[in-house]
């Protein structure tokens, strides 16, 4: 009942997660982490065959939809929920790992991008600055406490890369922060889904230097990209894997993948999912490609999960 031939409205995603929690009570739990600035529940699914009690199991955390207009990202996470509950074809992923799947990290912005302004990026908060009522919202991917407000970010609330009045000013980023800290020693892999560009990016994203785990980051990144490319041939460009500054050509601080790596998550990546055409239209992948992207991204997740477990 979940549509993959068109984009997924926030309410539809909510209803889907409720339905999954009802139908698979032994593995799937729906958690309301907090309410968004405008009062919408920010919800994630915990998927575990042992209710997170087996503390030796590594945890995989995936979020999407922190950037509102990147509509291709939530369906890749609802697809992951499906592949771990309704349609299990890789049972080892359930046996070996616990999962935390957050399809819409920024429900206010996501909603706003459907109802009012298709290419809205930020949250919708209005408590950050005197100008906030004129220019609401904070860029969630500049709001993490990692070299916050230093590079590729703005202190002008009227820009799309406004980092907020302080690090973690946004409830939407605090929810992800708290998930990361709650499960930290067990998290083998963190993925944050963005679009667009067919890239898998890793630390450090503020200055382009490499982390001590750069070899591991690159090896697992390439393994994920190869699996995706196998399924994606003839649809999209091949994935490019690398340090986010080197691949993107710009540094940006306060991003979630850097923060997660900085606090100790060994394998942490930003996925830039595919887009066709340039400019803002790249955020609006033609809906006929949604299912293709979900299928191929799942292949990347599977490869990354298994590698992360082997290395953990």
Smallest gap, in angstroms, from Cβ of residue 73 to ligand 0X9?
A: 9
Smallest gap, in angstroms, from Cβ of residue 67 to ligand 0X9?
A: 5
Contacted by 254, from ligand 0X9, Zn ion, none: CB < 5 to 8 Å by type: none
> Applying CB under 6 A, which part among 12-20, 178-186, 233-241, 255-263 lies near ligand 0X9?
255-263
Contacted by 201, from ligand 0X9, Zn ion, none: CB < 5 to 8 Å by type: ligand 0X9
Token readout for 128 is: 């950050």
Measured from the CB atom, is 63 or 272 closer to ligand 0X9?
Answer: 272
Residues 75-134 that bind ligand 0X9 (CB under 6 A): none
**Judged by CB under 5 A, does residue 194 bind Zn ion?**
yes
Measured from the CB atom, is 67 or 186 closer to ligand 0X9?
Answer: 67
DSSP for the chain reads ---SSS---HHHHHHHHHHHHHH-TTTEEEEEEEE-TTS-EEEEEEE-TTTT--TTS-EEEEEE-SSTT-TTHHHHHHHHHHHHTTS-S-HHHHHH-EEEEES-S-HHHHHHHHHT-TT--S-----SSGGGGTS----GGG-SSSSTTTSS-BS-TTSTTB--SSTT-SHHHHHHHHHHHHHGGGEEEEEEEEESSSEEEES-TTT-PPPTTHHHHHHHHHHHHHHHHHHHTTTSPPPEEEEHHHHHSS---S-HHHHHHHHT-SSEEEEEE--SSSGGGGGS--GGGHHHHHHHHHHHHHHHHHHHHHH-
CB count, 10 Å around CB of 159?
A: 15
Distance (Å, whole) CA 147 – CA 157: 18
> Applying CB under 6 A, which part among 6-14, 209-217, 253-261, 285-293 lies near ligand 0X9?
253-261
Smallest gap, in angstroms, from Cβ of residue 205 to ligand 0X9?
A: 2
> Applying CB under 5 A, which part among 83-91, 106-114, 169-177, 186-194 lies near Zn ion?
186-194
Measured from the CB atom, is 186 or 194 closer to ligand 0X9?
Answer: 194
CB count, 10 Å around CB of 17?
A: 24
Measured from the CB atom, is 98 or 257 closer to Zn ion?
Answer: 257
CB count, 10 Å around CB of 181?
A: 11
**Judged by CB under 6 A, does residue 257 bind ligand 0X9?**
yes
Q: Which residues are catalytic?
A: 272
Smallest gap, in angstroms, from Cβ of residue 67 to Zn ion?
A: 3
**Strand 98-102 relative to strand 41-47: parallel, antiparallel, unpaired?**
antiparallel
Contacted by 63, from ligand 0X9, Zn ion, none: CB < 5 to 8 Å by type: none
Contacted by 258, from ligand 0X9, Zn ion, none: CB < 5 to 8 Å by type: ligand 0X9
**Judged by CB under 6 A, does residue 68 bind ligand 0X9?**
no
Spell 220-251 as b/e; 16+ CB within 10 A means b.
bbbbbbebbbeebeeebeebbbbbbbebbeeb
> Applying CB under 6 A, which part among 34-42, 43-51, 57-65, 250-258 lies near ligand 0X9?
250-258
Among 193, 201, 301, 302, binds ligand 0X9 (CB under 6 A): 201
Contacted by 77, from Zn ion, ligand 0X9, none: CB < 5 to 8 Å by type: none
**Judged by CB under 6 A, does residue 194 bind ligand 0X9?**
yes
| Residues forming the site for ligand 0X9 (CB under 6 A) | 67, 70, 141, 194, 201, 205, 244, 252, 255, 257-258, 270, 272
| Residues forming the site for Zn ion (CB under 5 A) | 67, 70, 194
């Amino acid at each position: 009942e979940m549509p993959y031939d068109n984009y997924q409205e926030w309410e539809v995603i909510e209803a889907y997660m409720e339905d999954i929690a009802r139908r698979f009570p032994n593995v799937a739990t729906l958690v309301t982490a907090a309410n968004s600035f405008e009062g919408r529940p920010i919800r994630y699914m915990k998927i575990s065959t042992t209710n997170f009690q087996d503390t030796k199991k590594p945890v995989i955390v995936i979020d999407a939809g922190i950037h509102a207009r990147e509509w291709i990202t939530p369906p890749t996470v609802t697809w992951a929920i499906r592949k771990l509950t309704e349609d299990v074809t890789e049972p080892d992923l359930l046996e070996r790992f616990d999962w935390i799947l957050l399809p819409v990290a920024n429900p206010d912005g996501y909603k706003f991008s459907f109802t009012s302004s298709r290419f809205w990026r930020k949250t919708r908060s209005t408590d950050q600055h005197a100008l906030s009522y004129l220019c609401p919202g904070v860029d969630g991917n500049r709001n993490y406490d990692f070299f916050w407000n230093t590079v590729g970010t703005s202190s002008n609330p009227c820009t799309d890369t406004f980092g907020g009045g302080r690090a973690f000013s946004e409830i939407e980023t605090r929810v992800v922060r708290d998930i990361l800290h709650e499960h930290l020693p067990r998290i083998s892999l963190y993925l944050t889904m963005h679009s667009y560009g067919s890239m898998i990016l890793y630390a450090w994203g503020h200055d382009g230097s490499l982390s001590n785990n750069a070899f591991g980051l690159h090896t697992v990144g390439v393994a994920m990209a190869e699996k995706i490319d196998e399924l994606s041939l003839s649809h999209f460009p091949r994935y490019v894997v690398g340090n986010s500054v080197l691949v993107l050509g710009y540094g940006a601080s306060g991003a979630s993948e850097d923060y997660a790596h900085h606090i100790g998550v060994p394998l942490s990546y930003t996925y830039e999912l595919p887009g066709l055409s340039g400019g803002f239209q790249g955020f609006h992948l033609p809906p006929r490609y949604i299912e293709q992207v979900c299928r191929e991204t799942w292949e990347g997740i599977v490869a990354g999960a298994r590698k992360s477990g082997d290395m953990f």
